[in-house]
Amino acid sequence: MVIDHIDAIWFHHALGIMMYLGRATFPLFCYAVAMAVIKAHALPPEETKKAIRRYLVRLLVLALVTQPFYLFALRENIANVIFTLAGGIFFADLSTRARPWQMYLIYAAAILSMLWVLPIEFGLAGVVLPAAFLQALRGNKGAWPFLIVLLLVANAGGIFDVRHANPLIWAYIGATGLFSIVLPWLVLDAARHMRQGKRFLPKYALHVFYPGHMVALRLIWMAFH
């Protein structure tokens, strides 16, 4: 994530390899959202509702607080990724009650929506990605093709008007999508073999780090320009 933001703020997206590496972080966030919703649904029904509500409210508050810092640092007039993940909680929770075919229609619509640039990071494909993770983790084989396609398009689609894309842009989308599948899989496989211990960082460390590191990168850039 930091690598991606260095490329965006310091180099204006000129170093493609940095973007490929950095944007592979987003699927890991979506996986974490899916696991949090699965954990919440292991609680009694009333506790599940409270846990989902707390999680959603916390992310929405963080998204609203972060947005001014996001606009200052990245100079992009779109909703930051925390809004995307908050939407991901909603759809991941919905996927536990909806029928599989209903979610398949939602996935298909989200994929189709990536033909247009939408004012939210990672587009609607990113919003429904945690739901696809959740269904796949729960053994729904029909969700796997949608999960793979969503991973391919969420990190790259929605950036360009791909309806009129040239071959170079399609190559860019394909490369970004492959990084979005391979790198997160390697990270998750490595984590699976690690010894489980105490929390590595304080509970709200990432909540502060996300807006903080972007502002720091922008201030450093401004100091030298």
pLDDT single digits (tens) 167-194? 666 677 777 777 788 888 888 888 777 7
Domain residue spans of the chain: 2-193
User: Which structure tokens are listed for 208?
Assistant: 């502060």
For residue 162, name the pLDDT band (cuts at 50, 70, 90).
low
- Radius of gyration of the chain from Cα atoms? 18
Side chain identity at 145, as an amino acid letter? P
> 118 or 53, which is more confident?
53
For residue 157, name the pLDDT band (cuts at 50, 70, 90).
low
Mean pLDDT (whole number) for 163-170: 65
User: Which structure tokens are listed for 97?
Assistant: 């009650």
Mean pLDDT (whole number) for 187-204: 75
**Residue appearing with tokens 């979610």:** 103
Q: How far apart are CA 50 and CA 59, in angstroms?
A: 14
Mean pLDDT (whole number) for 8-13: 86
Residue 199, pLDDT > 70, answer: no
Q: Can you name the residues that pair with 120 across neighbouring β-strands? A: 79
Q: What is the 3-state secondary structure (H, E, C) of 40-73?
A: HCCCCHHHHHHHHHHHHHHHHHHHHHHHHHHHHH
pTM: predicted TM-score of the whole model, two decimal places = 0.90
80 to 76, 83, 103, 146, 171: CA distances (angstroms): 9, 6, 24, 24, 26
Q: How far apart are CA 176 and CA 7, in angstroms?
A: 14
